[in-house]
Amino acid sequence: MAVTAPTRTPRSPIRRLLERDERLFAVLLAVVMVGGLATLGLYPLRPRHRVDVYSLVIWFGLYKAGILALVTVNPRATRQIFTGALCIDLLLVFLLLYLTGGGDSPFVNLFYPLVAINAYYFGRWGGLLLAIAAGLVYWTAAKMAPPDAAWTAVAILMGQLGLPAFALGHVADRERRARVEVERLNAEVTGTLTRLQAAQEELVEAERMATVGRLSLKVAHEVRNPIAAIELNAELLGEMVHGRVSEDGTEASALVTAIRDQVVALDALTEEYLAFARFPRPQFEEDSVNDMVVAVAEFVRPLASRQHVEVKVSTDPTVPPMEIDRTLLRQAVLNLLKNGLEAVSQGGVLTLTTRHLDDTVEIAIADTGPGIGPEVGRRLFEQFFTTKPQGTGLGLAISRQIVEEHGGKIRWSSTPGEGATFIMSLPLKKAEHV
């Protein structure tokens, strides 16, 4: 059953406006300051100190709306905008104090919301500094417009402003750190879920490929007997038509030969696939790498001679006996030699060498073929990748697997038009006698 994502309810324009912290802070600061100013307008002032508070409220509200617009348009300069707005707010409070009685002005109460809200934004130390600045503004206004404010009144104001501001700023700092941590954890969880989803998809693909592999293995195993029967019958049929000197007999002999060639190719393909799928556990025994290399070269030499390809062998006499699985390592070298034979043309050369380097023994197979292009080189050891019409794409993969089972590595190099070289580097292992 398909899973559908829940439908999101459209958000109101106000909620979209306040979804960012800096806009929300600007609105809260405007509400608190404009509301505080309007509330203090209820306080009866002396005739000589009277100001048009409600006109001031309107202008103050427009000024705060301008701050919100600036933050919305230029969010990167939010801190600078709020710092400038704080300085303007302090100046406005100072003017109100100066015009409405100095030390006795009721507008000193505007410091409380101003310091509290800004402490939440600027943090605990910003709140403390702002409380000290508010005390100095109050003291300066009282000095310029008597009656003066006693130092105790200034100290009390600083304390009443600074302590709550410090506490509120501390809470805000912790909340911000917690939010950053939550965002970090959320990013980690999202990344983990993404990796888990990718791993799950890879696991499903691996299970599918494993099922296909088991099925292919069974098919390859079951096909072997019919192939053997076809080959045997083709051989018998070839003997029956052999020697008949007629046009039909010659044609029949050619057809039987073609059938046998295709059967041999199919049998080789099946054997190679089964060898890859049923890769045996290596049985290490002390043996001579040089002897194995010479034996493989002699095995390949008759086929190379029919193709007019010269096989050269150069062994390093300092290569000591070492722990190897002779059968598997012979197969790896043979696969590389077959690839070399298919790559070189008539008159080409295959060179097989061994070399002893410190704690490593190298087996190199070089050919004088056309070389390996970059496009092919990128996929050289990829399973089932081949450039041959009847290739399986498993020869190099099997060779690499054998070398890795010996704890070694296989590398290659190629120069276009000059051939390619494959080098198997094997760690020198001595037999352990108990």
Q: What is the mean pLDDT of each run of 10 residues along the chain (434 residues)?
A: 46 53 74 74 60 76 82 84 87 84 83 86 89 91 83 90 89 87 90 89 75 63 68 72 62 74 70 62 88 92 88 92 90 89 83 91 91 80 68 76 90 86 86 44
Q: Please give the Cα distance from 317 to 354 (Å, whole number).
A: 9
Q: Please give the Cα distance from 235 to 388 (Å, whole number).
A: 27
pLDDT reported for residue 277:
60
The contacts found for 234-242 with CB under 8 angstroms, 24 or more apart, are: 234/259, 234/260, 234/263, 235/260
Q: Interior CA angle at 430 toward 426 and 432, to 5°? A: 140
Per-residue burial over 271-290, b if 16 or more Cβ lie within 10 Å, else e, is ebbebbeeeeebebeebbbb
End-to-end CA distance of the chain: 64
Spell out the residues 6+ positions from residue 429 whose beta carbon is closer than 8 angstroms to its own: 284, 322, 323, 324, 407
C-alpha dist (Å) from residue 81 to 66, 74, 88, 133: 11, 9, 11, 19
Q: Please give the Cα distance from 145 to 396 (Å, whole number).
A: 96
Q: Please give the Cα distance from 260 to 241 (Å, whole number).
A: 14
What does R_g of the chain's alpha carbons equal in angstroms? 44
Q: What is the side-by-side strand order in the sheet with 419-427?
A: 310-314, 349-357, 360-367, 419-427, 409-415
pLDDT reported for residue 433:
41
- Where helices occur in 103-246 by DSSP H, the ranges are 111-144, 151-241
Question: Is the Cα dihedral 370, 375, 378, 380 positive or negative?
Answer: negative
Q: Please give the Cα distance from 162 to 181 (Å, whole number).
A: 28
Closest CA to 270 of 382, 380, 394, 385: 394
Question: Is the Cα dihedral 157, 158, 164, 168 positive or negative?
Answer: positive
CB 348 within 8 A of CB 309: yes
Closest CA to 337 of 316, 374, 364, 317: 364
pLDDT reported for residue 315:
93
What is the reported pTM? 0.45
Backbone dihedral angles phi then psi of residue 356, each to the nearest 5 degrees: -105, 120
CB 367 within 8 A of CB 348: yes
pLDDT reported for residue 246:
59
